[in-house]
Structure 1
Amino acid sequence: MIVALLNQKGGVGKTTLALNLAGEWARQGKRVTLIDADPQGSALDWSQQRSREGLARSFGVVGLARDTLHREAPELARDVDHVVIDGPPRVAALMRSALLAADLVLIPVQPSPLDGWAAAEMLALVTEARIYRPELAARFVLNRCGARTVLARETAETLADHDPPVLASTIGQRIAFAAAAQSGRLVSELDDNTPATREIAALADEIDRLGIGRAAR
């Protein structure tokens, strides 16, 4: 399965989710490759920091910030169980290529009206991609939210009426994510029994339960 994390709005936590999702699947014994399709190269920077810290590689990280991604990603997917794409913000050609490569698009949004408005542009691109890939699946995922806040609840309720729908799993605003990233680690490597680790595990499991595969290719 190729999962692309995409949103034209920057700062929604795509890279953090992409890295920790890839790490969770690798922790389950699955073969995983992460594609850094963001010209900023944050996932590649994380991988290099991990090497400097002398940490073992749990999954491969490949830089492919180019608009041939839809041709190259399926080739990489032949040898692994999951490909995770950390997508670019506001690079139209790259975004379209990532959409054509993906089996599932995850659209991270924060509990904010501004994020909801920005997501409208992303949904237009998903609709366009479905002309060529009608089987393309998409889901919102609430990220960096306080689960008990009124705003988070209202955002989830608003997105529940949308196509695509929102996933039940939410990711909180937690210091653990930043602390892990600084040293090239994943939240599960800091402590495998924290809220952050459990939230990522729940998200990975929910994605797996969607049953989206490569049969359509």
Structure 2
Amino acid sequence: MIVALLNQKGGVGKTTLALHLAGRWAREGKRTIVIDADPQGSALDWSEQRAREGLPRLFGVIGLPRDTLHREAPEIARDADHVVIDGPPRVAALMRSALLAADVALVPAQPSPFDGWASSEMLRLIDEARIFRPELLARFVLNRCATGTVIARETAQALASHEPPVLASRIGQRVIFADAARSGRLVSETVNGAVAAREIAALAAELERLA
């Protein structure tokens, strides 16, 4: 399965979700590769920090911020159970290529009307990609979600009948994600990351059922 995390809006947590999904699947014994398609290279930076900390390698991270991604990712996927693409913000050509490579397009969004409005361009790109890849699945995932807030509940309700719909799994707004990233770790490798790790596990399982 090739999962592309895409949203032209920056700061929605694409890299965090990409790395944690890959880490979850790797710990389940699945061969997993992350493709860093963001020219900023945040996933590669995380991988390098992990190596500096002397932590074991869980999965490979490949830098591939090119609009030939739709040709190269399927070749990479031949040697993996799952490929996770960490997409770029605001680079339409790269996002189009990632969509043409993906089995599932996952659009992280925070529970905010601003994120909803900013997603309109992403949805247009998904519609375009489906002309060539009608089997492409697309879903929103609520990320950095403050539990129990009115806006989170209203956003989930608004997206329930939306196309693409929102996944049942949600990822909370937790400082532990940033703390773990600074040392090249995943939340499952930290002392206080159990709740966050369970949310990631639920998201990974839902994506596998979907695909």
TM-score clears 0.5: yes
| Counterparts of 1:145 and 1:134, CA distance in 2 | 31
Superposed CA deviations along residues 76-100 of structure 1, whole A, max 9, x for unmatched, are 0001100000000010110100000
| Counterparts of 1:80 and 1:102, CA distance in 2 | 14
| Counterparts of 2:79 and 2:205, CA distance in 1 | 21
- After TM superposition, give the deviation of residue 121 of structure 1 in Å: 1.1
1:162 partner amino acid = H
| Counterparts of 1:18 and 1:197, CA distance in 2 | 13
- After TM superposition, give the deviation of residue 147 of structure 1 in Å: 2.0
Superposed CA deviations along residues 140-179 of structure 1, whole A, max 9, x for unmatched, are 0000011200000000011112111100000000011001
- After TM superposition, give the deviation of residue 192 of structure 1 in Å: 8.2
- Equivalent position SS for 1:167: strand
- Equivalent position SS for 1:170: strand
**Residue correspondence of structure 1 range 1-217 to structure 2 within 5 A:** 1-191=1-191, 194-210=194-210, 212=211
* Count, aligned residues: 211
Normalised TM-score (structure 1): 0.96
Note the residue ranges of structure 2 that are not aligned, 5 or more in a row: none
- Equivalent position SS for 1:90: coil
Normalised TM-score (structure 2): 0.98
| Counterparts of 2:154 and 2:147, CA distance in 1 | 11
CA change 1:154–1:33 in 2 (3 A) is same
| Counterparts of 2:129 and 2:85, CA distance in 1 | 16
| Counterparts of 1:161 and 1:118, CA distance in 2 | 18
What is the CA RMSD across the aligned residues, in angstroms?
0.9
- After TM superposition, give the deviation of residue 191 of structure 1 in Å: 4.0
| Counterparts of 1:23 and 1:157, CA distance in 2 | 30
| Counterparts of 2:163 and 2:193, CA distance in 1 | 33
Identity of aligned residues (%): 76
- Equivalent position SS for 1:171: strand
Partners of 1:37 and 1:87 within 8 A in 2:
yes
1:99 partner amino acid = L
CA change 1:156–1:117 in 2 (3 A) is same
